């Protein structure tokens, strides 16, 4: 019998350049189990109990490293330097035009084609009294994917006894650069099927509508009376098919919600998701001002792994973040990190069950 909490390491496959990758398995006494690879800091599996104690893997992923090098829809990935889109892959910083890798139409998405989800991190496992974790570090060189400055990044994953997976991000730089780190795990709390019957609650009175290429318009309208009002729990599928301009632009939900915060920068609940059949509940906490709620609209059964086919709207992402395109929007909270400052952000996924 394994003592808990526990962390162990196994091989996850060789990269084309010969480097080996590893997979770390974190488990706690309640049977929750999380697998994380040092490639891209990707979460590949999350097993949590339903109300009868039966475990299911509630996240999308693959069995080995190679599929993550291809088209992978950012399954489980650690995203950086900048989560979400930057319009036309460029912005002005201190009077200089910065040009980034273009990987989403004419825009920049999730740190570029070879963003942090495709680099090999240095991994250090640790064990504390009631938790186990993995510390990942990476030095992103000046100019990587177009970003200025050498950015030293640390990400800590920590699995607690209370079925919480906490993620803490830290970074420092030697030149001003935008930083907006997050995680892109997909969730399906039933472990199969689509997510339309999951209910979701997002404590956000406003959101950032997008244009036809999914760049924020800069407006922050109220969600009141729209399909974007999730202040009371509602099935994801309840209004997703309505003929609403924003649901057309996002192909469903693919929007940043402006979280109602007790105070700016304070940690608070960002979303609560409930799957009625299994009873599984996921709560997301963050100190970030926004949450991207993406309803898996680009999944279409092309990708498969772990014995499953990842079908249309078969998973949702809940990405705590600063608002998309902030480097081009003086009105949005700033994402610029300067030498001498420390970037720090923290989030958590907490699993439980309800009737
Ligand atoms: C993010 C984006 C989506 C999509 C997914 C990955 O959540 O907002 O538009 O690109 O990543 O497919």
Which of these, 11, 16, 15, 14, lies nearest to 25 by C-alpha position?
11
pTM: 0.97
For 1-25, what is each residue's pLDDT tens digit? 567 899 999 999 999 999 999 999 9
Token pair listed for 252: 């469903």
CB of 293 closer than 6 A to ligand 1?
no
The DSSP string of 205-219 is EEEE-B-TTS-B-S-
Are the beta carbons of 19 and 144 closer than 8 angstroms?
no
283 occurs within a structural domain = yes
| 265 φ/ψ angles, rounded to the nearest 5 degrees | 80, -5
DSSP 39: B
Residue 74, both tokens: 């950012």
Alpha carbon 190 to chain centroid, angstroms: 19
Residue 71 known to be catalytic: no
pLDDT of residue 138: 98
Q: Which of 108, 255, 319, 322 is catalytic?
A: 319
Residue 168 domain flag = yes
Q: Which two tokens stand for residue 354?
A: 């309800």
Q: Measure the CA–CA gap between 70 and 78, rounded to whole angstroms.
A: 16
Domain contains 306 = yes
User: How many structural domains comprise the chain?
Assistant: 1
310 Cβ below 6 A of ligand 1: no
CA nearest ligand 1 atom 12, residue: 73
Indicate if ligand 1 lies below 6 Å from the C-beta of 123. no
Does some domain include residue 1?
Answer: no
Atom of ligand 1 nearest to the CA of 214: 9
The predicted structure's pLDDT at residue 3: 73
Tokens of 46: 């999350």
Cα–Cα distance measured from residue 129 to residue 120, given in angstroms and rounded to the nearest whole number: 28
The tokens 């599929």 sit on which residue? 67
Query: Can you name the residues that pair with 21 across neighbouring β-strands?
Result: 13
Q: Which atom of ligand 1 is nearest to the CA of 250?
A: 9
Output the domain CATH number for residue 192: 2.70.98.10
Q: How far is the CA of 135 from the centre of ligand 1 (A)?
A: 26
> Model confidence over 246-290: pLDDT tens digits?
999 999 999 999 999 999 999 999 999 999 999 999 999 999 999
Q: How far is the CA of 54 from the centre of ligand 1 (A)?
A: 31
Q: Is 319 a catalytic residue?
A: yes
Cα(31) to centroid(ligand 1), Å = 31
Residue-range definition of the domain harbouring residue 17? 6-353
Can you name the residues that pair with 170 across neighbouring β-strands? Answer: 154, 344
Specify the ligand 1 atom closest to the Cα of 294. 7
Q: What's the 277 CA to ligand 1 centre distance in angstroms?
A: 27
Residue ranges of the chain with per-residue pLDDT less than 50: none
69, 294 contact by CB (below 8 A): no
């Amino acid at each position: 019998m394994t003592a808990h909490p526990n962390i162990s390491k196994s091989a996850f496959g060789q990269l084309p350049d010969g480097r080996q990758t590893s997979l770390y398995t974190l488990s706690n006494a309640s049977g929750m189990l999380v697998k994380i690879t040092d490639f891209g800091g990707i979460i590949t599996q999350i097993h949590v109990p339903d109300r009868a104690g039966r475990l299911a893997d509630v996240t999308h992923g693959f069995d080995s490293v190679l599929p993550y090098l291809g088209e992978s829809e950012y399954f489980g990935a650690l995203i950086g330097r900048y989560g979400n889109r930057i319009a036309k892959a460029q912005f002005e910083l201190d009077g200089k035009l910065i040009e980034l890798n273009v990987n989403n139409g004419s825009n920049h998405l999730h740190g570029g084609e070879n963003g942090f989800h495709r680099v090999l991190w240095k991994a250090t496992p640790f064990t504390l009294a009631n938790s186990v974790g993995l510390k990942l570090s990476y030095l992103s060189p000046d100019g990587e994917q177009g970003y200025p400055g050498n950015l030293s990044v640390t990400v800590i994953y920590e699995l607690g006894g209370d079925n919480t997976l906490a993620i803490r991000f830290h970074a420092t730089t030697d030149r001003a650069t935008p930083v907006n780190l997050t995680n892109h795990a997909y969730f399906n709390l039933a472990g199969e099927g689509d997510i339309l019957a999951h209910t979701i609650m997002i404590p956000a009175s406003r959101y950032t509508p997008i244009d036809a290429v999914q760049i924020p318009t800069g407006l922050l309208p109220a969600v009141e009376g729209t399909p974007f009002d999730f202040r009371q729990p509602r099935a994801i599928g309840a209004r997703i098919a309505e003929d609403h301009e924003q649901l057309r632009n996002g192909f469903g939900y693919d929007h940043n919600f402006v979280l109602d915060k007790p105070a700016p920068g304070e940690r608070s609940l960002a979303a609560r998701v409930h799957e009625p059949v299994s009873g599984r509940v996921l709560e997301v906490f963050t100190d970030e001002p926004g949450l991207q709620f993406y309803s898996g609209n680009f999944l279409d059964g092309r990708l498969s792994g772990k014995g499953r086919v990842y079908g249309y709207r078969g998973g949702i992402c809940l990405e705590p973040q600063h608002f998309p395109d902030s480097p081009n929007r003086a009105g949005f909270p700033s994402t610029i990190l300067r030498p001498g400052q420390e970037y720090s952000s923290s989030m958590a996924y907490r699993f439980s069950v309800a009737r």
